[in-house]
Structure 1
Amino acid sequence: MKSLNRLLPLLSLACLLAACSDSGPTEAQKKEAADEVSAIDLPEKTLETLFDVEEGFTLLSLKDFEVFNAKSKEPVEGKNWSETDGVLSCKGTPRGYLYSHESFGNCTIRLEYRFPESAEKNENPNTGFLFFITGENRIWPKCLEVQGKFAEMAHIKSNSKEIQLEVTDNEAAREKARRPIGEWNTIEVVCKDGALTSVLNGTQIATSKPSELKSGFFGIQSEGDAVEFRNIRVQKLTD
């Protein structure tokens, strides 16, 4: 019955469009059709398949990454990383990160992520996005990081003492753009000749000047908090 209920708005929409196919839909009919679509209670899997990847971008999934975990003295129950219906989930333990099979230089990476509402017990849940991972895997590798930590969302920093980085950051813009725990935030990072620019929910937050790192693997951190990611995609830029 639930499946039928979900289909009813679609059937209604099809009938409406068929009725006005001869002369073309009026503006009022277009609005009615749009309202019908927005009212449909689609299952999560269907919602995920509705995402259209922008031209020139490639969608990444869990199969496009390898897992690196820190050694832990505590037993770990189940897998830390999993993927269901296009949503990549991280339990947060053990600490570690995913790193891409492919190395990237000049590129744009876009994704959405959220800390589930259960993360509210931690006022500043943590994750991060690693760029230009170079050398051996360790906690933490030689790379640059765009922060996913709630209080520092989209801040750019060096994740290694070996790399000094000059960064410009707009805290006021972050406070205005950031969405609360439980909601999806969008991150875009443009990498150009070693310089990074981060954008949070459509607002530019930070920039960094080039360092010695200009290419490497892309990573996503596990740092003790449950977090979810979706629509991770990359566009390679021409030099």
Structure 2
Amino acid sequence: MKRITFLLLFVSIPFFAHSQTKKLFDGKSLAGWYMDVPDLEADSSLRIPFIIRDGLLVSLGTPQGHLISEAEYDNYTLELDYRFAGEPGNCGILVHASTPRALYGMFPQSIEVQLMHSNAGDFWCIEQNIEVEDMEARRGPKENWGVNGRKERRIKNLTDDSEKPLGEWNHIKITCDADKVTVWLNGDLVNDGFNATATRGKIALQAEGAEVEFKNILLTEL
């Protein structure tokens, strides 16, 4: 009996270790993150666009740039809560982020999960690509697809009414499993991508014009 119990414990330890959930934001500091903000780098008198306020991580929106995880990740689920603090606008979560400033001298090479008001859950291809079912219906004519410049980089999400009213918290869940990226917003499946051209990288939050608050940023390894 003791031997069976020991064997079960031995088998269970790797499983629970592999399923560990990590807090990526401690509510007090930006430990584990760094900023890439081109305008701030050029002019240090500008305000810092990522701050801690009342235990929340806040993207002030300007100057524009990214808050990027120091660590790289693969095969994980990322969950967080967000809301627009004032006027609705644009923001996003980047997964599999790598080469900095790869697009427009601003955006790191990555796959963006859009948070822009009324468009949350869209994919944007940033020097990386991903596919979905019904690709032409959701991305436009195939000859216009691309991952940079004026190409069709946006892949529309699956729903129209998954966002909460302005001022309320939205819960987003992103699972990156090998070459798949799946997104749920407030419990609704809003995007389901496959054949991603990246499967590992950093995570980034955007400052892209609008003030956004974040909390409960958790990563669970698959």
How many residues are aligned here?
Answer: 176
- Partner residue, 2:220: 235
Partners of 1:172 and 1:110 in 2: CA distance: 18
Verify the 8 A CA contact 2:130 2:197 in the aligned structure 1: no
Give the superposition deviation at 1:75.
7.8
Runs of 5+ unmatched residues, structure 2: 1-18, 139-154
2:185 to 200, 216, 219: 200
Asked whether 1:142 is paired with 2:101, we answer no
Asked whether 1:66 is paired with 2:30, we answer no
Verify the 8 A CA contact 2:96 2:111 in the aligned structure 1: yes
Counterpart secondary structure, 1:182? coil
Specify which structure has the bigger relative contact order, considering alpha-carbon pairs within 8 angstroms and separated by 6 or more residues.
2
Note the alpha carbon deviations across 1:170-205, whole angstroms, 9 max, x for none.
978632321122111110000010210000001111
Verify the 8 A CA contact 2:82 2:171 in the aligned structure 1: yes
- Partner residue, 1:181: 166
Counterpart secondary structure, 1:98? strand
Q: Residue 174 and residue 76 in structure 1: after superposition, are their counterparts in 2 closer, same or farther (change >3 A)?
A: farther
Asked whether 1:93 is paired with 2:65, we answer no
For normalisation by structure 1, the TM-score amounts to 0.67
Counterpart secondary structure, 1:71? helix
- In terms of fraction of residues, the more helix-rich structure is 1
Give the superposition deviation at 1:132.
0.6
For normalisation by structure 2, the TM-score amounts to 0.72
Verify the 8 A CA contact 2:100 2:106 in the aligned structure 1: no
- Partner residue, 1:152: 119
Spell out the pairing of 1:18-97 with structure 2 (5 A cutoff): 56-61=20-25, 62-71=30-39, 77-97=46-66
Look up the equivalent residue of 1:133 and give its one-letter code.
A
- Partner residue, 1:29: none
Verify the 8 A CA contact 1:153 1:174 in the aligned structure 2: no
What is the percent sequence identity of the aligned residues?
Answer: 27
Partners of 2:100 and 2:173 in 1: CA distance: 26
Give the superposition deviation at 1:115.
0.4
Spell out the pairing of 1:88-127 with structure 2 (5 A cutoff): 88-116=57-85, 118-120=86-88, 125-127=89-91
Give the superposition deviation at 1:81.
1.0
- Partner residue, 1:221: 206
Root-mean-square deviation (Å):
2.3
Partners of 1:176 and 1:94 in 2: CA distance: 30
Q: Residue 197 and residue 172 in structure 1: after superposition, are their counterparts in 2 closer, same or farther (change >3 A)?
A: closer
Q: Residue 192 and residue 172 in structure 1: after superposition, are their counterparts in 2 closer, same or farther (change >3 A)?
A: closer
Runs of 5+ unmatched residues, structure 1: 1-54
Verify the 8 A CA contact 1:111 1:187 in the aligned structure 2: yes
Give the superposition deviation at 1:108.
0.2
- Partner residue, 1:14: none
